[in-house]
Structure 1
Amino acid sequence: MANLTASKVASLAKKTPGRFADGGGLYFVVPTTTDKKPGQAYWMLRYSFNKKRRELTLAKYTDMSLSEARAQAALKMAQVREGQNPIALKKQSQMQEFKTVNDLFEDWQQVNRNRLKHPQIPERVYRKDIAPHIGEYNVDQVTARDIRRVITAINDSGRPSISNDALMYCKQLFNHGIKLDVIGANPASAFHVDDAGGIEKSRDRALTIEELSQAFEVFRANPQSFTRDNYLACSLLVLLGCRKSELCEAKWKEFDLDKAVWELPRERSKSGVGLTIPLPDLAVEMFHELQIRAVDSDYVFPSRRLAIRPHMGPDTLNRAICKMFGIETGKRTTPPNLMGDLEYFRVHDLRRTCRTLLASLGVPGHVAERCLNHKLKGVEGIYDRHDYFEERTEALALLAQRLRPIIAPG
């Protein structure tokens, strides 16, 4: 039998701390503050579950009337009679909801930040090539046809390796959804590499001296399409043999141009090993020019679109090179092929070209490998901790002498 009325509850809330029963397990609770005055009142339900007494806060008095509290109490007691624990159900309902694929991705990406060395890679592929197609879809409504649409669009843009990556990330993303009991099946599970970009063959493209001369001549002749920043970046990549991300994301604090060294930090090195890179005179000249071009930026290659990222983007150089070959995805008109009969190459091929040129100049293999910041293999890699700094200095100076007429003529 109910013992409370709306007027009595209003009076109790103002001046009488305590716990007041209404019947059926419902209580009106007025807590006592530190100065022994009534605190913020609330509704509470007492019930037994698995032979243990439980207490569940329903709501603040200001948010729920007496009649509404009685209705909520009756609902919760019905759940108890059905063998359900209202406290457990409340905790479950308060867990993060994953309505859209974007919601699921944000949770998955938190996991990636803890387990991956470079979590920005799957994030970049997702935001650029997956999210525009299915990001706003309800996570439980994505079908296999939607996945096919994602990988087909990437294939049509001429990026088979990215298509493979996108398929892999879709599988991982929706498997994460299965783990969280958000979905019951993975819409990407039936697809294989053959359905995306196909089995990738290892590239062995390295440019000859003649090809380098042709490419850099075209770069110089088209400064509006191939900017000076792009030119200097490609020049340094073939001159130093560093990785694209290591150079494009470099900060000025890593450099001492007076001593002609670049201290590549371990956390930015793909190999996980920091390296002191000796800079030949030609490289120092280019970095001095880049200092002027960077103005007051912390980055060697500051982004020209600061709203996106503070440094040159990961796709900038490859897109610029593609344009020189008459390849520009997402455009209605196809640009002319300015490279003529030159075989297509990518940014990473410049790094391979550096390694090949070092070998052609008689640089020992173990020195050339360290120039590229490769870990030495086998027993030599375990026991030989010598960094070959002097040898690398001589090797890169020799390479700079060979490349100067090509990348810095006149």
Structure 2
Amino acid sequence: MATTSKKRLTNQVLERITPPKTGRLEIGDDLCPGLILRVSEQGAKSFSVIYRVLGEGGVTETGRPLTGKQHRITLGRWPVISLTDARERARAILAKSGAGADPRAELASSIRERRANTFSAVLDRHIRQDAARTISSWPNVERVLRLHVVPHLGDRPMADIRRADVHEIIDALVVGGKIGTAREVRKQLNRIFNWAADREIISLNPLSGMKRADLARNTEAGRALTDVELRSIWFGAEEMRYPFGPLYQFLMLTGQRRAEWAFCQRSEIDTANRWLDLGKERFKSRREHIVPMSDDLWALFERLPVWAGANDYFVFSSRHGRVPVQGFSQGKSALDELAQEYLRKQLGRPDAKLQHYRVHDFRVTCETRLAHLGFNQEVRDAVLGHAKPGLQKTYNKHDYLDEKRRALEAYSAHILATVGVSTPFPEGVGRQARIAEESGRLIPAN
């Protein structure tokens, strides 16, 4: 049975109150009538508010509304909820009940909404309504989130996720050396939380103002690779198994972004015109972009595996053409090791070291060498898919298709001459296709 009393509650009073020997102690707050402190035999202290809803008891003959029976809402345990917060919440509940509204209905609705708006549920909704239509590489981003975030936050209500929760996920990725993945996780979570805040699913984005110096990007534009480096990387790629070996060679011969070839589907390859047709939905800047395929590149393309029983498939895939190639960090590490080994053989120096480079440097190399080959800036921008500057974007509607084809033919021939091969499909690539065929997974193209 509860023992009741009344006094002005303060933090000092809360600290000094001792638990009752039997039953439960209830103390009403003098400063906020209706606010109750409950103290159990075990010493647990919690706040609740007692109220009556105006009009719930009917009306008098003169039309005056009567209050109904007494209700109670538990606010939470002290000190998790402070005395100040408890008074504010109690006063808000009493104000609503005094106006004829039952706060329990609003509370129940809020609880249902919180349970419905878990991270997984909001992620699915975000994909349907926004990301799938606006982010060309979203399938790959979604895999990253489902792998690294959903296991930790999937069942959590969005409103309960704190910045510390995201820091914990990013910390684990950084410790594991996955800086690029950590950077992508923060970027996409920030996007999702902003989207949720805009739709009032949450009040604020918990990542707003997040500082992670360890995720700072390398702001350097990159560098052009030397002849020796190009030769080492080319033959390093030649030694790699499908899909990464041919993928890196495609990037070296065209200067395109990694995603444009890595996520390429067979239906995007126009056989009649011999080009890669990237629609607005997949190209980075939401513009159409066509990449003519030189004779050398086409010969390399025809040596790639063809996935049996599929009308369409990903050209570079590690899972039967159903999904695009994955594991870029591991692929780049393998390429670096093979290129390093070839560099030492090429120079005859066991201590020779391959200077650090990024896949993006293939684009820088393409831009630089096209300039050396005599192609002007407009053609180089068209090849790399750069947006036209200033008024050119508005008034210049030329597609530069012929110019791009001539540039990429010349560039492909230049790269192959630089690395010292007369054909872009050396024995290594053919050997990969045969090994794949013997495994029963692939059928080489004619």
Shorter-chain TM-score: what band? 0.5 to 0.7
Query: Which sits farther off after the overlay, 335-344 or 144-153?
Result: 335-344
**In structure 2, which of residues 330, 354, 365 is the aligned counterpart of residue 353 of structure 1?**
365
CA distance in 2, matches of 1:375, 1:182: 36
Query: Which sits farther off after the overlay, 109-118 or 261-270?
Result: 109-118
The aligned residue for residue 315 of structure 2 is 301
TM-aligned CA distance change 1:103 to 1:80, over 3 Å: farther
CA distance in 2, matches of 1:110, 1:265: 20
Aligned length: 320
CA distance in 1, matches of 2:404, 2:272: 18
The aligned residue for residue 220 of structure 2 is 202
Question: Does the CA-based 8 Å contact 2:274-2:298 persist in structure 1?
Answer: yes
Matched, 1:251 2:269: no
The aligned residue for residue 400 of structure 1 is 412
Matched, 1:105 2:116: no
Q: 1:392 is paired with a residue of what secondary structure? A: helix
The aligned residue for residue 135 of structure 1 is 154
**In structure 2, which of residues 155, 172, 177 is the aligned counterpart of residue 153 of structure 1?**
172
Flag structure 1 segments of 5+ consecutive residues without an equivalent: 1-46, 52-78, 327-334
CA distance in 2, matches of 1:145, 1:87: 32
Question: Does the CA-based 8 Å contact 1:280-1:393 persist in structure 2?
Answer: yes
TM-aligned CA distance change 1:409 to 1:347, over 3 Å: same
The aligned residue for residue 401 of structure 2 is 389
The aligned residue for residue 375 of structure 1 is 387
Q: Shift of residue 242 of structure 1?
A: 2.4
Question: Does the CA-based 8 Å contact 1:100-1:136 persist in structure 2?
Answer: yes
Equivalent position amino acid for 1:164 in 2: R
CA distance in 2, matches of 1:168, 1:262: 29
Matched, 1:212 2:226: no
Flag structure 2 segments of 5+ consecutive residues without an equivalent: 1-56, 64-96, 344-351, 427-446
Q: 1:301 is paired with a residue of what secondary structure? A: coil
CA distance in 2, matches of 1:48, 1:352: 79
Q: Shift of residue 181 of structure 1?
A: 6.2
TM-aligned CA distance change 1:385 to 1:93, over 3 Å: same
Question: Does the CA-based 8 Å contact 1:302-1:312 persist in structure 2?
Answer: yes
CA distance in 2, matches of 1:220, 1:380: 40
Q: 1:286 is paired with a residue of what secondary structure? A: helix
Matched, 1:166 2:185: yes
CA distance in 2, matches of 1:178, 1:391: 47
**CA RMSD, aligned part only?**
3.9
Q: Shift of residue 215 of structure 1?
A: 1.2
The aligned residue for residue 279 of structure 1 is 293
Within 5 Å, which residues of 2 pair with 1:289-328?
A: 289-290=303-304, 292-297=305-310, 298-305=312-319, 310-313=322-325, 315-325=326-336
Question: Does the CA-based 8 Å contact 2:114-2:159 persist in structure 1?
Answer: no
Question: Which of structures 1 and 2 has the larger relative contact order (alpha carbons within 8 angstroms, sep 6+)?
Answer: 2
CA distance in 2, matches of 1:336, 1:82: 76
Q: 1:277 is paired with a residue of what secondary structure? A: strand
Question: Does the CA-based 8 Å contact 2:260-2:283 persist in structure 1?
Answer: yes
Equivalent position amino acid for 1:207 in 2: L
Question: Does the CA-based 8 Å contact 2:134-2:281 persist in structure 1?
Answer: no
TM-aligned CA distance change 1:147 to 1:337, over 3 Å: farther
Q: 1:153 is paired with a residue of what secondary structure? A: helix
Q: Shift of residue 301 of structure 1?
A: 1.7
Question: Does the CA-based 8 Å contact 2:254-2:366 persist in structure 1?
Answer: yes
Q: 2:277 is paired with a residue of what secondary structure? A: strand
Equivalent position amino acid for 1:401 in 2: A
CA distance in 2, matches of 1:391, 1:336: 32
CA distance in 1, matches of 2:128, 2:314: 29
**In structure 1, which of residues 112, 123, 126 is the aligned counterpart of residue 142 of structure 2?**
123
Query: Which sits farther off after the overlay, 160-169 or 368-377?
Result: 160-169
CA distance in 1, matches of 2:364, 2:152: 35
The aligned residue for residue 343 of structure 1 is 355
Question: Does the CA-based 8 Å contact 1:282-1:400 persist in structure 2?
Answer: yes
- Deviation per residue, 1:112-169 (Å, 9 max, x gap): 3377333446534422332343334454554443222212122223343443342343
Question: Does the CA-based 8 Å contact 2:381-2:387 persist in structure 1?
Answer: yes
Q: Return the TM-score normalized by structure 1.
A: 0.65
Equivalent position amino acid for 1:239 in 2: L
TM-aligned CA distance change 1:161 to 1:321, over 3 Å: closer
CA distance in 2, matches of 1:336, 1:219: 8
TM-aligned CA distance change 1:130 to 1:400, over 3 Å: same
Equivalent position amino acid for 2:324 in 1: M
Q: 1:206 is paired with a residue of what secondary structure? A: coil
CA distance in 1, matches of 2:132, 2:211: 27
- Deviation per residue, 1:202-234 (Å, 9 max, x gap): 33133222211011222334xxxx213322211
